[in-house]
Structure 1
Amino acid sequence: MDRHSVDWHGYWVAAPTPFGDDGLIDPDLHRAMIEMYIAQGVKGLVVNGSSGEWWAQTLQERKTNAELFVTISGGRIPVIVGCSGFTPDYVVALAQHAQHIGADGVLATAPAYVHPTQQEIFAFFSEIDQRIDLPLSIYNWPLGIGTEIEVSTMLRLAELDHVVSIKNSTGNLVALRQAVVELSPIVRVFANLISPAGIDVIQNYGSDGFIDGGGLGAPFGVPFFEAIDAGDIDRAREVAIKYSTLMTGLWNPDFSGRFAAPVAQLKAAMQMLGQPGGVVRSPLLPLSDPSSTAQLHELLSSVGLLSVE
């Protein structure tokens, strides 16, 4: 497999897991959320990724969550199942379940907490690759994992049989650009290039899309890639400026949240927008600070997502 084995492109969402007020998985909220994303024109979904609070779910809940996304989506858009875990056995078990339920692919980070070396990262994914059949997306997530996958390692990983894409959520802009340049001919590269500067990178070197945590930026991200595909650079730049304003207001340069933990501020924003994001699970706490809540409301209003009250 390689980049030509899948047609993954454009603006995707790494969906939150919409727990109900009782803290349990809520199929009705799932349906409402998935239908919202499809109506927004989102090109694909990732379930049980960083925004999906996979660490707060039991193994069975992760499977149930994946089944709901695949079943409700019904093949209308691709669904990739996040299978991150500490050992290859755990990742493979989730990947095999994802194949059984009809998912389009799987995604995994390097193991968190252990700070693996680059050789250990390659060995980890190499073992997984040998034991799965679905297309595999490698997720570089230094903030959550504590270790950056170097571009040289990504190039080695791109040669594995089932690797078709890299989700590169690094704050290292030099490495990000290098990854786009060197990896795009081999695998699909998903990176946050929805910015005026990102347009230049896309035009010169290419990029396939972006997998956005929670999809607050869908009103800008979806038309951004549509404009890029149509060659309408003025329109792409127009929506990119609004998207950049939103993202700069929400995230610090290392992708930590400005108002709360990333998923907590995401779900708070979704609640403000009347979107079915559900509540967070322990160890996360909901955003409750009045000052931060007011600032988040002001940010959403400033980019036109929320009416000023």
Structure 2
Amino acid sequence: MDRTDVNWRGYWPAAPTPFGTDGAFDEEAWTSLLGNYADQGVHGVLVNGSTGEWFSQSRQERERVAATAVAAVAGRFPVVVGVSAYTPGEAASLARHAAGIGADGVLATPPPYVHPTADELLAFYTEVSRATDLPFMVYNWPRGVAVDMAADQGLVHRLCDLENVVAFKDSTGDWTRMLATVESVGDRVRVFGSFLHRRGLAILGGLGGDGNIDGGGLGAPYAVPAYEAVFDGDMARAAEWTDRYATLSSALITPEYNGRIASPISQLKAAMAMLGQPGGTVRPPLLPVTSAEDLERVREALVGAGLLSPGGVR
């Protein structure tokens, strides 16, 4: 397989998994959120990624979340299931479940906490990507796993040579390293990175790149039309939309993917609640945003981006 075997591109939310105040998975809210994404015209969705809080779910819950998503989306856009785990055996088993429910692809970060070497990473991804015939996306997520694969382009090349790897999600936090990924493997695999700003548009219009996978999808009202404009070759119109997206993103997230107000998922779910979106709350070890000061900062970010009126009306 290579990039031509999938149509993955554009703006994808990394969907948050809704939990109720009692901590239970809220399947009704989950189905509603996926319908929301369809209404917004997103180009794909990642479920059970970091934003989906896979780390606080049981194996049975991860399977239920994934199966519900595939059924709810019903082929309207690609559903890629996160199968990140501490061992290749567990990740491969989750990948086989994803294949069995009809997912469009799977994704995995390096094993968290372990800090594996390049050879260990290659062995991990070889086993997990070969577990099924599904298209596979490698996810470089140094904030979460303490390994920046983009720093080792030799490793990136070897990973993208694996038979089922068709995409590379590069959330390095180092923009020049992300550009090196686009330049070195973008002709073979789809590259998702940080493109929703004017510098990113210049890269999309020249060097390459395929899309953004964005925690939560708050920016969909701006990012979806931005990518549609890119697809149409109208970079001036795309720039207008990316400017609006960048206003929101920069108010909430640092270039290193840290939250400016609270943990990124906690502030995301607080923002979704203000917008009337079915995001639910977070599970421990994360804590919900509760202080009046922090909630006001989240509200100001939404107002500044034009998603919420100063009076709090959407």
Question: Shorter-chain TM-score: what band?
Answer: over 0.9
* 2:175/2:194 contact within 8 Å kept: no
Query: SS of the residue aligned with 1:246?
Result: helix
CA positional deviation for 1:129 = 2.4
**What is the match of residue 160 of structure 2?**
158
CA positional deviation for 1:22 = 2.2
* 2:95/2:128 contact within 8 Å kept: no
CA positional deviation for 1:141 = 0.3
Deviations 1:121-144 (A, max 9, x none): 111101222322211100000000
**What is the match of residue 232 of structure 1?**
234
**What is the match of residue 45 of structure 2?**
45
* 2:92/2:127 contact within 8 Å kept: no
Deviations 1:18-59 (A, max 9, x none): 112322112210121011000001011111001000000000
CA positional deviation for 1:227 = 0.6
CA positional deviation for 1:152 = 2.3
* 1:99/1:134 contact within 8 Å kept: yes
TM-score, length basis structure 1: 0.98
**What is the match of residue 250 of structure 1?**
252
Cα distance in 1, alignment partners of residues 123 and 140 from structure 2? 15
- The one-letter code sitting in structure 2 at the alignment partner of 1:51 is T
CA positional deviation for 1:253 = 2.1
Deviations 1:173-192 (A, max 9, x none): 11111111111100000111
CA positional deviation for 1:257 = 0.5
Tell me the number of residue pairs that the alignment of Structure 1 and Structure 2 aligns: 309
% same residue: 47
Deviations 1:80-118 (A, max 9, x none): 110000111000000000000000000000011011112
Deviations 1:150-197 (A, max 9, x none): 332111111101100001111111111111111110000011110011
* 1:29/1:276 contact within 8 Å kept: yes
* 2:252/2:259 contact within 8 Å kept: yes
Cα distance in 1, alignment partners of residues 117 and 244 from structure 2? 38
Cα distance in 1, alignment partners of residues 64 and 16 from structure 2? 14
RMSD of aligned residue pairs (Cα, Å): 0.9
Cα distance in 2, alignment partners of residues 228 and 190 from structure 1? 15
* 1:122/1:157 contact within 8 Å kept: yes
* 1:56/1:281 contact within 8 Å kept: yes
Pair 1:93 & 2:93 matched: yes
* 1:151/1:175 contact within 8 Å kept: no
Cα distance in 2, alignment partners of residues 34 and 127 from structure 1? 30
Deviations 1:209-236 (A, max 9, x none): 1111100110111011101111111111
Q: Which runs of 5+ in 1 are unaligned?
A: none
- The one-letter code sitting in structure 2 at the alignment partner of 1:103 is A
Cα distance in 2, alignment partners of residues 207 and 174 from structure 1? 13
Moved over 3 A (4+): none
* 1:193/1:199 contact within 8 Å kept: yes
**What is the match of residue 76 of structure 1?**
76
Cα distance in 1, alignment partners of residues 176 and 42 from structure 2? 28
Cα distance in 2, alignment partners of residues 259 and 175 from structure 1? 26
**What is the match of residue 5 of structure 2?**
5
**What is the match of residue 136 of structure 1?**
136
Cα distance in 2, alignment partners of residues 77 and 202 from structure 1? 22
TM-score, length basis structure 2: 0.97
Cα distance in 1, alignment partners of residues 50 and 196 from structure 2? 20
**What is the match of residue 300 of structure 2?**
298
- The one-letter code sitting in structure 2 at the alignment partner of 1:269 is A
Cα distance in 1, alignment partners of residues 27 and 198 from structure 2? 39
Pair 1:64 & 2:31 matched: no
CA positional deviation for 1:76 = 1.1
Pair 1:108 & 2:94 matched: no
Cα distance in 2, alignment partners of residues 196 and 303 from structure 1? 17
**What is the match of residue 26 of structure 1?**
26
Cα distance in 1, alignment partners of residues 92 and 158 from structure 2? 20
Query: SS of the residue aligned with 2:95?
Result: helix
Cα distance in 2, alignment partners of residues 211 and 109 from structure 1? 14
* 1:20/1:29 contact within 8 Å kept: no
CA positional deviation for 1:16 = 0.3
**What is the match of residue 273 of structure 1?**
275
